């Protein structure tokens, strides 16, 4: 590992330590009560003490996020492929995808939660609605961004529509798809949390957002912070997983994932 | 051209022309016969319809009028096209790029791999089969492109300024290699270039086209045996033909202005 990458790891860690130390100092010096702002050590202590219920909630939130992301990817990619095959279909459906995107999730979530009986399903639908648009938008652009020379080449050799789709359009779309997937991943987690907030006691009563809601009502602020920490860590972990997938798929050929020149 | 030992035609173009839907006349009705085993090069300024003509012959663009007849055994997949840029799939290895035409035709994998290996050998890139296009130089990428064209064992090769983007040293080397390759494989070639020297070095016959609207202005036979070596560039014949073509092209350019 060279010095550059050491810096890129050490610098944010040092920054984080400075922040934690300052946080600890401010709480200790001003003797701020823990129901206003708990110190970092108390948050950690709470996280360890309440690990079982919190971890259980984390798994629920992860399941909602994961299911929604999977659904968004499958449905979004399928729609993109249909859009590219038929301009008519795109013209008919795209405006509704946009409407779905620009309408705030908090405004639709209550309806979805009322209409869908199973609370888990309702949360998954909300998170899917929140995350599907970047998949559709990016993949559609990607499927269209095909080298015209390669299109000629495929035509010259008599490629079928399916061959053009599978061997040319889908690989061309991969970098765009992964860029969309990164955004969609963050949105799916946000969607899952927001939906659970909106659902309140009507939801699964078990995700991380519900923990935050409960902890807030009961003034268990250290626990609220612990749940918040878990959501953040989950978001970072999901981002890293998607980045890793993207690198795995693109590292040998696409500019965005090539190693930096020295 | 009518002697009894004249080889049969590979391409017979009778009055083919191209007018784009927006009214731009890209190509005046053109008459041209390319005989089997000939190496015909078209030179001319930009906008003279050279590329359009190749696209019409390959069937990538329909002609507005006239007819283009490809003789038996000279139409796709025995017709191959080498584009101006390497036009490789960046996500696929060199091997997979060269194998593409065979894959599209549904050839069994083992046969296709064998032909791919052979095509890469012809251009001297067998060691780079597993590399990716990005990892190769511009000249090597162009050779991959030629290998892909050769993979289907074509008899007719259409080449649209294939070496135009390369530096002169690389270009001269590829010209020499390609002169050998085309003669050994007995390819019929229709080649487009901006370079008079490249045209004289490679061809058995050079056509000079004039622009707006495109038409054939003059024709020069280069009657030296092929394949040609680098020493051909130092001969009187090479110099004479280069000067002759240069003059013709100059006349075409001033006429166009």
CA distance A96 to chain B (A): 34
Chain B residue whose CA is closest to A168: B89
Q: Which two tokens stand for residue A179?
A: 């860029």
CA distance B81 to chain A (A): 8
Rg (CA), chain A: 23
Nearest Cα to Cα of residue A71 among A119, A131, A122, A117 = A131
- Sort out which chain B residues have CB atoms less than 8 A from A154's CB and list them: 104
Residues B71 and B95 in one domain: no
Taking the C-alpha atoms of residue A191 and residue A68, their distance in angstroms, rounded to an integer, is 9
Strand segments (E) across B20-75: 25-35, 39-43, 65-70
Say whether A156 and B76 touch across the interface (CB within 8 A).
yes
pLDDT tens digits along A158-213: 999 999 999 999 999 999 999 999 999 999 999 999 999 888 766 667 899 999 99
Residues B12 and B123 in one domain: no
High-pLDDT (> 70) share of chain A, % = 95
> What does the domain layout of chain A look like in residue ranges?
38-250
CA distance A139 to chain B (A): 17
Helix (H) or strand (E) holding A151: helix A148-156
Residues B164 and B249 in one domain: yes
Strands of the B9-19 sheet, one edge to the other:
B25-35, B9-19, B65-70
> Which range is least confidently modeled, A2-6, A31-35, B232-236?
A2-6
> Is residue B56 a part of any domain in this protein?
yes
- Sort out which chain A residues have CB atoms less than 8 A from B134's CB and list them: 252-253, 258
Say whether B100 and A149 touch across the interface (CB within 8 A).
no
Least CB–CB distance from A252: residue in B60, B87, B132: B132
Residues B9 and B47 in one domain: yes
Chain B residue whose CA is closest to A169: B89
In 10 A of CB B192, how many CB atoms? 24
pLDDT tens digits along B55-108: 999 999 999 999 999 999 898 889 999 999 999 999 999 999 999 999 999 999
- Sort out which chain A residues have CB atoms less than 8 A from B104's CB and list them: 154, 157-159, 163, 167
- Sort out which chain A residues have CB atoms less than 8 A from B132's CB and list them: 252-253
Say whether A157 and B77 touch across the interface (CB within 8 A).
yes
Cα dist from B247 to A236, B43, B250, B252, B254, whole Å: 68, 12, 5, 9, 11
Residues B142 and B257 in one domain: no
Taking the C-alpha atoms of residue B120 and residue B143, their distance in angstroms, rounded to an integer, is 9
> Is residue B36 a part of any domain in this protein?
yes
Residues B110 and B214 in one domain: no
Chain A residue whose CA is closest to B92: A253
A256–B contact, CB cutoff 8 A: no
Quote the ipTM score: 0.90
Residues B222 and B250 in one domain: yes
In this prediction, residue B252 carries a pLDDT of: 84
Q: What is the mean pLDDT of chain A?
A: 90
Taking the C-alpha atoms of residue B218 and residue A252, their distance in angstroms, rounded to an integer, is 48
Say whether B92 and A171 touch across the interface (CB within 8 A).
yes
Query: For residue B228, what is the domain's CATH number?
Result: 3.40.50.300
Instruction: Provide DSSP, A35-87.
Output: TT---HHHHHHHHHHTHHHHHHHHHHHHHHHHHHHHHHHHHHHHHHHHHHH-H
**Total structural domains in chain B?**
2
Q: Which residue has the tokens 């791999």?
A: B113
CA distance A258 to chain B (A): 10
In this prediction, residue A262 carries a pLDDT of: 43
Taking the C-alpha atoms of residue B198 and residue B34, their distance in angstroms, rounded to an integer, is 19
B40 pLDDT above the threshold of 50:
yes
Interface of B with A (CB under 8 A): 58-60, 76-77, 79-81, 83-85, 87, 89-92, 100-101, 103-105, 132-134, 152
Residues B176 and B74 in one domain: yes
Q: Quick one: DSSP state of residue B41?
A: E
Mean pLDDT of A85-114: 87
- Residue B1 banded pLDDT, cuts 50, 70, 90: very low
Residues B127 and B230 in one domain: no
Chain A residue whose CA is closest to B94: A253
> Is residue B235 a part of any domain in this protein?
yes
Residues B209 and B241 in one domain: yes
A157–B contact, CB cutoff 8 A: yes
Q: Which two tokens stand for residue B256?
A: 């166009």
Taking the C-alpha atoms of residue A116 and residue A122, their distance in angstroms, rounded to an integer, is 5
Nearest Cα to Cα of residue A149 among B153, B12, B63, B83 = B83
Residues B125 and B222 in one domain: no
> Is residue B64 a part of any domain in this protein?
yes
Residues B146 and B185 in one domain: no
Look at the domain A38-250 and name its fold: MetI-like fold (1.10.3720)
Which residues form the domain of B140? 89-153
In 10 A of CB A92, how many CB atoms? 11
A137 pLDDT above the threshold of 70:
yes
High-pLDDT (> 90) share of chain A, % = 70
> Is residue B240 a part of any domain in this protein?
yes
A163–B contact, CB cutoff 8 A: yes
Which of B254 and B121 is assigned the larger pLDDT?
Answer: B121
> Is residue B179 a part of any domain in this protein?
yes
In this prediction, residue B217 carries a pLDDT of: 84
Mean pLDDT of A1-28: 87
Nearest Cα to Cα of residue B87 among A223, A195, A172, A43 = A172
Q: Which two tokens stand for residue B4?
A: 């009894």
CA distance B250 to chain A (A): 31
Taking the C-alpha atoms of residue B47 and residue B177, their distance in angstroms, rounded to an integer, is 29
Torsion angle defined by CA atoms of residues B129, B132, B133 and B137, in that order, rounded to the nearest 10 degrees: -80
């Amino acid at each position: 590992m060279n010095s550059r990458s050491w810096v890129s790891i050490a610098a944010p860690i040092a920054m984080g330590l400075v922040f934690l130390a300052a946080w600890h100092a401010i709480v200790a010096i001003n003797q701020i009560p823990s129901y206003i702002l708990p110190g970092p050590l108390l948050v950690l202590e709470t996280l360890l003490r309440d690990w079982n219920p919190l971890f259980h909630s984390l798994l629920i939130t992860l399941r909602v996020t994961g299911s929604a992301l999977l659904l968004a990817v499958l449905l979004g990619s399928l729609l993109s492929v249909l859009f590219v095959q038929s301009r008519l279909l795109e013209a008919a459906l795209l405006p509704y995808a946009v409407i779905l995107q620009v309408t705030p999730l908090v405004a639709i979530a209550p309806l979805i939660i009322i209409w869908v009986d199973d609370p888990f399903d309702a949360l998954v639908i909300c998170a899917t609605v929140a995350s599907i648009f970047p998949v559709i938008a990016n993949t559609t652009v990607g499927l269209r961004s095909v080298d015209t020379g390669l299109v000629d080449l495929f035509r010259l050799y008599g490629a079928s529509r399916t061959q053009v789709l599978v061997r040319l359009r889908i690989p061309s779309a991969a970098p765009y798809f992964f860029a969309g997937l990164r955004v969609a991943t963050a949105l799916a987690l946000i969607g899952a949390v927001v939906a659970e907030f909106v659902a309140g006691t009507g939801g699964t009563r078990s995700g991380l957002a519900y923990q935050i809601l409960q902890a807030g009502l009961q003034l268990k602020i250290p626990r609220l912070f612990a749940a918040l920490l878990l959501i953040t860590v989950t978001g970072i972990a999901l981002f890293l997983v998607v980045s890793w997938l993207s690198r795995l798929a693109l590292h040998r050929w696409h500019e965005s994932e090539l190693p930096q020149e020295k | 051209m009518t002697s009894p030992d004249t080889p049969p035609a590979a391409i017979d173009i009778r009055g083919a022309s191209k007018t784009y839907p927006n009214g731009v006349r890209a190509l005046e009705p053109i008459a041209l016969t390319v005989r089997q085993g000939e190496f015909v090069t078209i030179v001319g300024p930009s906008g003279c319809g050279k590329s359009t003509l190749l696209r019409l012959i390959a069937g990538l663009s329909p002609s507005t009028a006239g007819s283009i007849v490809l003789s038996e055994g000279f139409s796709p997949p025995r017709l191959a096209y080498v584009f101006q840029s390497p036009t490789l799939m960046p996500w696929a290895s060199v091997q997979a790029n060269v194998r593409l035409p065979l894959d599209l035709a549904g050839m069994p994998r083992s046969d296709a791999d064998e032909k791919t290996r052979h095509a890469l050998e012809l251009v001297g890139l067998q060691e780079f089969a597993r590399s990716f296009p990005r990892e190769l130089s511009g000249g090597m990428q162009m050779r991959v492109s030629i290998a892909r064209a050769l993979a289907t064992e074509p008899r007719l090769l259409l080449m649209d300024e294939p070496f135009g983007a390369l530096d002169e040293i690389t270009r001269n080397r590829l010209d020499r290699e390609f002169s050998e390759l085309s003669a050994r494989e007995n390819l019929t070639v229709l080649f487009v270039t901006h370079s008079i020297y490249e045209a004289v070095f490679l061809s058995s016959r050079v056509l000079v086209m004039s622009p707006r609207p495109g038409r054939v202005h003059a024709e020069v036979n280069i009657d030296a045996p092929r394949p040609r070596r680098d020493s051909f560039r130092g001969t009187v014949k090479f110099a004479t033909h280069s000067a002759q073509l240069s003059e013709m092209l100059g006349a075409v350019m001033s006429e166009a202005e």
